[in-house]
Amino acid sequence: MYRLRLYIAGQSPRSRKAVAQLRDICAQCLPSDHDMSIIDVLESPELAEEGRVLATPTLVRISPPPERRIVGDLSDQRIVLQALDIGCDHGGSSGTLKR
């Protein structure tokens, strides 16, 4: 099971876009094999500090180990999947990734 944590800052357009992009990735590539949590660092700064998050959005793959992170724009699904080492038969418009 994949455990993902997305750190955002408030309800800015950038934060809403990151949430939508992560939901799209999960729906396409991890439909039943994921646990996703969204942390607003403005509401829970202690969680950002605990997670060593310095910038938002930050997406962290907590499990399976080792932990992997991607910071910033999540719009290129192929890059996100590669950075987090998530195999996907439907890798978005940029191509197909398989594990």
Looking at residue 92, the DSSP 8-state letter turns out to be: G
Query: 81 lies in which domain range?
Result: 2-94
Q: Do the domain assignments include residue 99?
A: no
Beta bridge pairs of residue 58: 7, 71
Give CA–CA dist 70/5, Å, rounded: 11
Q: Do the domain assignments include residue 54?
A: yes
At 45 the pLDDT is: 96
Give CA–CA dist 54/81, Å, rounded: 21
Please report how many Cα atoms fall inside a 13 Å half-sphere around the Cα of residue 44, on the Cβ side: 13
Q: Do the domain assignments include residue 84?
A: yes
Tens of each residue's pLDDT in the chain, 99 residues: 999 999 999 999 999 999 999 999 999 998 888 999 999 999 999 999 999 999 999 999 999 999 999 999 999 999 999 999 988 865 444 433 333
Contact 32, 54 (CB under 8 A): no
Contact 70, 56 (CB under 8 A): no
User: Which CATH number belongs to the domain containing residue 90 in this structure?
Assistant: 3.40.30.10
